[in-house]
Chains A and B, each alone.
Chain A
Amino acid sequence: MSDLKSDFEKLSLDFNDQQNVLNDLLGARSKLETQLQENKIVSDEFSLLNEESKIFKLIGPVLMPQDYNEAKINVEKRIEFINSEIKRVESKIEDEKSKIESTRDKLLSVRSKMSS
């Protein structure tokens, strides 16, 4: 009986931990989404500009003049990077969800053993 009880406690701790991890991951996912949207807006804006446009980038407190093509490539790279990050986080989220699923199954089986 005490074995079952300690199993149960351990599993529910695991379950809580996994849920916290999942919440963190979901937070990271939505942050990435925000960044992606912002970069997309910038990229849309760049597509309306041309090489004569004056482009600056705010670095710390200073506005640095930027080359149009360079800035455009930079933003496109950022979008690519963010997309790959989103994929990475999403696969982690799937992993964590399946982990939670299996922990919950174990928890339920231990609980039914305890009550019987």
Chain B
Amino acid sequence: MASEQTRKIDLTQLQPQQILEIRKSTEQEISHFTQSLQALQSAQAKLRDCITSIEGVEKSNKTELLVPMTSSLYLPGKLVQKDEYLVDIGTGYYVGKSANDAKVVYQKKIDKLDEDAKKLKDILVQKNEIMNSINIVLRNKVMELEKAKTEE
């Protein structure tokens, strides 16, 4: 928090040009973090899809399904066994797991992403506060300049 304090003090002493630069970089940071947040959320959605797929297979009594050969070509297939899944655990490794274990893996990943998303949101709130204070300082500067002009 100390660094933010010094930053606030610095701001009022800077030239408007420099404040604009800072605002630009803060804007970039905010959009970068927003993008990361969206990426996290779409990753979570994919993981949730995995869990619902497993649950779907578990619930249904039928063993027929359509196997995608390409994105637009499907062949009818049959499930031989329902309780073994190959789970992608990252860097190209896949592990055979039971339905419950597989769900645990995905749930853990979702929870981890939740944590990260929370951290990111905190950062975004902070950055937005900085952005607001930059804008306020900038507005004051402009007003000062205009006042100085009319007094001349």
Show the binding face of A for B, using Cβ within 8 Å.
38-39, 41-42, 45, 49, 53-59, 63, 66, 71, 75, 78
Q: Which residues of B contact A55 (CB under 8 A)?
A: 93-96
Q: With the chains together, A41 CA to B93 CA distance in Å?
A: 11
Listed by A's residue number, 22 A-B pairs whose Cβ atoms lie within 8 Å are A38-B90, A39-B90, A39-B91, A42-B89, A42-B93, A45-B89, A45-B90, A53-B95, A53-B96, A53-B97, A54-B95, A54-B96, A55-B93, A55-B95, A56-B93, A56-B94, A58-B92, A58-B94, A63-B86, A71-B93, A75-B91, A75-B93
| Any A CB within 8 A of the CB of B105 | yes
**Which residues B91-125 have CB closer than 8 A to chain A?**
91-97, 105
**Which residues B55-91 have CB closer than 8 A to chain A?**
86, 89-91
Show the binding face of B for A, using Cβ within 8 Å.
86, 89-97, 105
Q: With the chains together, A66 CA to B92 CA distance in Å?
A: 11
B interface secondary structure, majority:
strand
Known pairs A41-B90, A58-B93 / 15 extra A-B pairs, C-beta < 8 Å: A42-B89, A42-B90, A42-B93, A53-B96, A53-B97, A55-B93, A55-B96, A56-B86, A56-B94, A56-B95, A56-B96, A58-B92, A63-B94, A66-B93, A78-B91
